[in-house]
Every structure is written in structure tokens, then in C-alpha cells.
Structure 1
Amino acid sequence: MIRYLYRKSRILFVGINPHPGSYARGVPFSNNKMFWYLLSDAGLISETRDALGDDAALKRIYEARFNAVYGLGLLNVVERPTRDVSGLHKGEEAPGRKRIARAIRTQKPAVVCFIGKVTYARFKGSREVSFGWQEDIGGAKVFVMHFPLRGKAAVRVRELRRIARAARA
């Protein structure tokens, strides 16, 4: 099970749902560490690839530093783990939509970053979604980034740097 850390985040990342491997480890995006490597490459966290690649070290980083030191948070639209989004049921995102909207309203992150178009589409309830900046939600800037597992890492690093700059503004 993943304990979601998001209180007082500057940047709140929103994923669609956990992978079973990540869920078992208790760390988001730990099945494939690419999200963590991208955060490091973009300068949002200061951790070595060796530490990020080690499950025990990554769990310590997530629990002790991700939110408290780096000011980052993460929630998923759906908490139930599946191998991919095709395992999700229609309407399953409704409780998560409310939970995330409440977190944005109460925690007031500077930026909310939806990880992938599918995530934002499920949150918004619309198929018409594009990458990049979206309409603000509750005073937070909203960005839809490319999913970390496919495509060129340089694109995602640039996106994360844009998000970091916006969170500092």
C-alpha cells in the first residue's frame, strides 16, 4: 500500500493509479524508476541514481524527503493498482476526482502536474486534453506532462523544469 504524501506541496503530482509492483513496495513509480530519475535530472530532487535505483533507499527518500525536504506531493486518481489503465473501470475515478480537488483546495500547491493525458482526461471527465498548461484549478497552475515511460527523457526533463520555474514564481 502507498502512503500518499502531499501536505503543503509546492508541486502536487497526480498519477492515474499505482502499478502492482509500486503498490507492494509502498512507493509511487517504483516499479520502473524513470519518474524518479527524471525528477533528479530536472533538479527537483538531489538524489543519486544509485540511491533512486535501490528499493530500500528510494523508500527512505520518498518517506523522509520527497514531501518534507523537496516540497513535492503525489496522489493518484484511482488508488487500486492495475498493470495498466485498461484495468480501470468506468466511473472508478469519481472518488479520486473529489479527493484531489479537496487536496488542491486545502493544501494550495503552486502547481498541479498531471502525469499523462489519460490522468488529466480521467480527472477532468473529458477526452479533449493536450499537453502543457491548462486552466488553473483553485488557484493552482495546472500542467499535463508526458508519461515518464515512453519517448525521449529530454522532453520530460524540460517539462519538469518548466513546472519547477512556475512553482517558484
Structure 2
Amino acid sequence: MTRTDTPPALDERSILQTMLAYVRETAIEKVAGLSDELVVAAPVPTSPLTNPASLLNHLRWVEFDWIETRFLGGEDLGPWTEEDPDGEMTEALSMTADEVIAAYREQTKRCDELVADVDLDTLSVEALRDFHPNLRWILNHLVEETARHNGHLDILRELADGSTGA
């Protein structure tokens, strides 16, 4: 996929989908090409789960949780448990770079398909604190969450192999 932040049209949905696709592809670019050793390397001693694989897998499960569980009301199938509340992060420690990228791509594709024909004003099945966010809010939140973690991935990639940019 070509990574661009230029939407094909200037309607709200096109802009939201383009920005989400752009930050997703940026996250993938930050992980792509890393060796299986470097993709799970955690350079911050106090944050052993802060590594490229764990962050990308976290983003995968964030999309699942927001779209499939909270928005559509599906079963929470996430890998987190009471014993391992960061299960999506630890799950990635046994994944290769290619596996974590493929799992993320598969989940984002599924999320896009699930909401493709849903009106942006449609409210989530599950409430968030004291309100039910609409699909517009959720897609904006996914852009924000992914963009925030792209900053982390950018630094981790530079620490891993010196790559910068993009």
C-alpha cells in the first residue's frame, strides 16, 4: 500500500479513513525490516514490554477492542487477563516481525470492512465512561492512539538499527 495522507476526496469519511490508513502504514514501516531479535528488543530497562513488536501488537488489539468489542458489542477475545493485563504486549514477544505485521494488517483490514458501510453517527454498543461514542469519535481515537505510538516506534526503530525518517 502506498502511504499517503492525501485523501481521494475531502468529505469527512475519506479524510478519516485516509488519516487512519496513513498512521497504520507508518507504524508498519517502523517495524518492517527489523530482525526477529530487534523487533522484540526493549532498550528501556524500566519498560521491558516497550519494543516494536509489542507496540504494533498493542495497536492490533486496540483496533479489535474498539471496533469489534466496544463499537459492535462482540465478545472480548483479547489476550489480556487479570494475571497478565498487558497480554497483547507479552503475546508479541513470541512473534516474528512478519507475524506481528501480518496480524496487524489482518485486523485493520477486518475493522475497515466491519465499518465500511456504517454511518459515522452510529453509537457504540458499549458505553465509554458516561457516554456512547459514535463511530466518528472512535475512528478519530484510533488515529490519535496510532499516531502517539508511532512516536514511540520511531524512537525504538532508531535505537534498534539507526533508521530514521518516514
- Considering the TM-score relative to the shorter chain, is it more than 0.5? no
TM range (shorter): under 0.3
TM-score, normalising length from structure 1?
0.26
Structure with the higher helix share, 1 or 2? 2
Structure with the higher strand share, 1 or 2? 1
> Which of structures 1 and 2 has the bigger CA Rg?
2
